[in-house]
Amino acid sequence: MSPSFLRLIRYGSLSFPSTPNLFLLCRHSRLYYTQPLPSFIDNVDDAVSSFNHILHMRNPVQPIFEFNKILSSLVKLNHFHTAISFSKQMELKQIQPDLFTFNILINCFCHLGHLNFAFSVLAKIFKLGFHPDTVTITTLIKGLCLNGKVREALHFHDDVIAKGFHLDQVSYGTLINGLCKTGETRAALQVLRKIDGLLVQPNVVMYNTIIDSLCKDKLVIHASDLCSEMIVKRIFPDVVTYTTLIYGCLIVGRLKEAVGLFNQMLLKNIKPDVYTFNILVDGLCKEGEMKKARNVLAVMIKQGVDSNIVTYNSLMDGYFLVKQENKATFVFNTMARRGVTPDVQSYSIMINGLCKTKMVDEAVNLFKEMHSKSMAPNTVTYNSLIDGLLKYGRISDAWDLVNEMHNRGQPADVITYSSLLDALCKNHQVDKAITLITKIKDQGIQPNIYTYTILVDGLCKNGRLKDAQAVYQDLLIKGYHLDVKMYNVMVNGLCKEGLFDEALSLVSKMEDNGCIPDAVTYETLVRALFENDKNDKAVKLLREMIVQGSAVGSNISSNSMLCVYQAAPLASFGVFWFIFGLASLGLDAFKIQLPEQACMHHFYIFPVEKGNGT
C-alpha cells in the first residue's frame, strides 16, 4: 500500500472539525441516497441519453440532483466507469457537485478497487468546504472491506471516532460484515462488545452476521450462546437467525438440534422462509431421514411456501441415498407438472442415482434428453455418466463422452480421469493406467490421493507390488498425506505376496503417522494370516484388537468381526473369544447370526457337565 494512501486513511494534513455537530447528517444528501431509481432510467442507454440531454440544455444551471439521479442509476447498473466519466464531464461544464455526488464517486472508486482515488475524493470534500456524512464514512469502510483491507478499515474507524464522528448501525453493520467475510470473526465480536451501549445500539443484523460466521467456522455452540445473549438484551432472533443456526447444526451433524430449532421457530410464530425449509430438508435428506423430510415439506405446503428447484433436488438426492429410486423418479417427473423446470443439477442427481442403481440405460436416455432440451451438461453430469458406463463395462461409450466433453469445451477433471484409471486397472491394463497418469499431469491436472490409491491398488492386484511400492514411496517423499484407504491397499498387496511381517510393520508406521487402522485393515491382515496358517500371529493380532477396543471399536463392525471369525480355523479362535471380542469393542454379538459350525464348536470348547444343574 502506498504511503500516500496510508496518509489519506489517517488524514495526514486533513483534519475533522473539532466540534461533533459539524458532522450532523446532511439531510439533502441522505434523501437522495435512499431515493429509489426513477423507473424510466433502468438501462445504460436511457442513462446516457438523459445525461446528454440535461448536460446540453440551454439553461446553464441545472439542479445537481438531476445529475445525481443519473449517476445513482449507473451505480445500480454496475456501470461505475461510466458514472466516473459523467462526473468528469460535469466538472468540465462547471456543474458544482454536492456531497451526494462525492459519495457516489467514492462508491464507484471503491467498487473498482481504486482506493487511492476514493480517499482523494474525501480530501476534495474537505477542500471544497463540505463535511463528510455517515454515508461517506460507511462507503469508505465498505470499500476497504471489499478490497480485503479490513485492518485498515478498523484503523480508519478508530481515527474517525477519535475525531468526534459518530457512526450509525449501518456503518457498524458494514464493518462487522467485512470482518466476518474475511474470517476475522473474533475482531467482529470485539467491535460488537466495544459499541454495545456506548456508541450505537447493536441490532439483529450485526448479531446475525457474527452468528453466520461462527456457524461457518463450525463454532455452533458459540453461535448458540450469542443467540441467547441477544434474547437477554431484548434483541429478538428473526428468521435469518434461526435459519443460520439450523444450517450450523446440520454441518456439524447435530440433526436433532436443527429440528428442535425449527420447531422452536414455529412455536414463536417466526415463519420459516423457503431458505429455512430447503436447508432443513436438504440436511434431513443427506442423513437419509426421508420421513422427517416429508414432514417438513408438509409444514412448508401448509404455510403456503412454494417448493423450488432446490427443494426437489434435495428430495431426489435423499431418495437415491436410501435406494428408493422409484420415488426419486416420481419427484423428478412431478416437478414439471408443478411449474418447476429441472435444471442441470436435477439431471445430474438423476443420472448419478440411476447409474448407482444399475439403471445405466435410463441414465443415458436422460442425458440425451438434456441435449434435446439444449441444456448443457456440466462436469458433474459427465463424470456421473462416465463412471456409470465404466462400472458396467461400456468403456468405449465412456471414452466417447470424454471426447464429447473436450469438443464442447467442458474440461475433464481429476474425477473423470480417476474413473477411467479405475476401469483400466480392473481390466488389467495397468501400463495404460500409468500412461494416463502421465498424460493428465502434462495437461496440468494434479492427481489426488484418491487417484493414486486406485493406481496402487491396480498395481498390487495385477502382481506388480514393486511398482506399487515405488508409487507409495514417491508419495511419501512428496509429502502427500496418506489416508487409511491407501494404507489398506498396501497392506492387502503385501499380504497377497506373503509379506506378513512387512504388512504388520506398515500398520505400525500407519499409527505412528497418525492414521488409525480401521475394520478393513484388521480384517485384511487377520484373514490373510489365518488363510496362510499364521494362526499364532492372527490370534495375537485379534487379542490386540480386543485390548485396544476403545480405540478401534468405533471403526469395526460386527460383520467385519464375523468375516474374520469365518476365516479362522476353529481350533485357533472360538465363539467365546469372538463374543468377548465383540463385547470389548462395544458391539452386540447377538445381532448377527453365527454359522451352525461355530455354535457346535462353542459347545465343544465348553462342554456341559451332567448333573450340575446347568
Q: pLDDT digits over 507-533, tens only? A: 888 888 888 888 788 888 888 888 888
Share of the chain above pLDDT 70, in %: 81
Distance CA 515, CA 525 (A): 16
Q: Are 144 and 113 in contact (CB under 8 A)?
A: no
Q: Are 311 and 342 in contact (CB under 8 A)?
A: no
Task: Check which CATH number belongs to the domain holding 134 and give it.
Answer: 1.25.40
At residue 200, the 3 state secondary structure works out as strand
User: Does residue 318 sit within a domain?
Assistant: no
Residue 442 is which amino acid? D
- Chain-centroid distance of CA 491 in Å reads 33
Q: Are 121 and 87 in contact (CB under 8 A)?
A: no
605 pLDDT band, cuts 50/70/90, is very low
Half-sphere exposure of 488 (CA within 13 A, CB side): 15
User: Does residue 103 sit within a domain?
Assistant: yes
Q: pLDDT tens digits, residue range 436-492?
A: 999 999 989 999 999 999 999 999 999 999 999 999 999 999 988 899 999 999 999
Q: How many helices (H) and strands (E) does the chain have?
A: 35, 0
Residue 20, number of CB atoms within 10 A of its CB: 12
Q: Are 435 and 469 in contact (CB under 8 A)?
A: no
The phi and psi torsions of 196 (rounded to 5 degrees) equal -55, 115
> What's the pTM value of the predicted model, to 2 decimals?
0.76
Considering the chain, what is the average pLDDT of its residues? 83
Residue found by looking up cell 479362522 in the block: 568
User: Does residue 173 sit within a domain?
Assistant: no
- Give the pLDDT score at 563: 53
Weakest mean pLDDT among 51-65, 236-250, 288-302, 593-607: 593-607
* Domain limits for position 107: 1-167
Q: Any idea what DSSP says for residue 60?
A: S
Distance CA 41, CA 359 (A): 53
* Averaged pLDDT for residues 309-322: 97
Distance CA 157, CA 330 (A): 56
User: Does residue 505 sit within a domain?
Assistant: no
* Averaged pLDDT for residues 239-256: 96
Residue 591 scores a pLDDT above 80: no
- Give the pLDDT score at 546: 65
- Give the pLDDT score at 597: 43
Cell representation of residue 211: 452468528
Residue 338 scores a pLDDT above 50: yes
Residue 218 scores a pLDDT above 60: yes
Half-sphere exposure of 350 (CA within 13 A, CB side): 28
- Give the pLDDT score at 61: 58
- The tally of domains found in the chain comes to 1
Q: pLDDT tens digits, residue range 252-282?
A: 999 999 999 999 999 999 999 999 999 999 9
Residue 569, number of CB atoms within 10 A of its CB: 12
User: Does residue 77 sit within a domain?
Assistant: yes
Residue 603, number of CB atoms within 10 A of its CB: 10
Distance CA 446, CA 441 (A): 6
Half-sphere exposure of 407 (CA within 13 A, CB side): 6
Cell representation of residue 235: 434483541
User: Does residue 6 sit within a domain?
Assistant: yes
Distance CA 537, CA 530 (A): 8
52 pLDDT band, cuts 50/70/90, is confident
Distance CA 388, CA 182 (A): 40
If one compares 456 and 586, the residue with the highest pLDDT of the two is 456
User: Does residue 361 sit within a domain?
Assistant: no
Share of the chain above pLDDT 90, in %: 58
User: Does residue 372 sit within a domain?
Assistant: no
How far lies 11's CA from each of 4, 23, 118, 130, in Å? 10, 16, 13, 15
Q: pLDDT tens digits, residue range 363-376?
A: 999 999 999 999 99
